[in-house]
Amino acid sequence: MIVFDLSCADGHRFEGWFGSSADFEDQCARGLLTCPACGSAAVSKAPMAPAVPAKGNARPAPVVDGPTQQLANVPLPPKVQQAIAALAKAQAEALKNSTWVGDKFADETRKMHYGERDETPIHGQASLAEAKALIDEGVPVAPLPFPVAPPEKLN
């Protein structure tokens, strides 16, 4: 694995782990990389210091509680919070008229696509391989932005 410091067009810095430099280039070219802070797909490698291993007889560096410790607790900007809330509300509204089909999602979606079943809104679970196969067949599917708990698992 290789870790790269990345940055988006808005200047947010974050790190990404990849199998190789070619994996980074491939994922970047396919638009799979987005900034975790703002969602921008304009992501590139940021300048970074090389990882130099410490000497075996070196004294460990002291842990410093400073600005980097506080960054993890910084709330999202209000506009981002509003966008997330609006997206969650839209998903909840869409799911009100949708039926949970669980792990039969790929089969049920295929049946609708090929006219073997009436078309109705459904949601459920599919593996990455199943989702790719559906897309390759031309079946219109999309992932939900937020995870959905199966009805039998709700309290």
CB burial string 26-45: b at 16+ within 10 A, e below: eebeeeebebebbebeebee
pLDDT digits (tens, 9 = 90+) for 115-147: 999 999 999 999 999 999 999 999 999 999 988
The whole-angstrom separation of Cα 46 and Cα 13 is 8
Q: What is the pLDDT of residue 76?
A: 83
Q: Which residues pair with 128 in a beta bridge?
A: none
What's the angle, vertex CA 128, arms to CA 125 and CA 129, rounded to 5? 110
The whole-angstrom separation of Cα 5 and Cα 14 is 6
pLDDT digits (tens, 9 = 90+) for 60-95: 777 766 555 555 667 888 999 999 999 999 999 999
pTM, two decimal places:
0.51
In 3D space, the residue among 128, 92, 122 whose CA is nearest the CA of residue 105 turns out to be 122
pLDDT digits (tens, 9 = 90+) for 4-62: 999 988 889 999 999 888 999 999 888 889 999 888 889 999 887 766 677 777 777 77
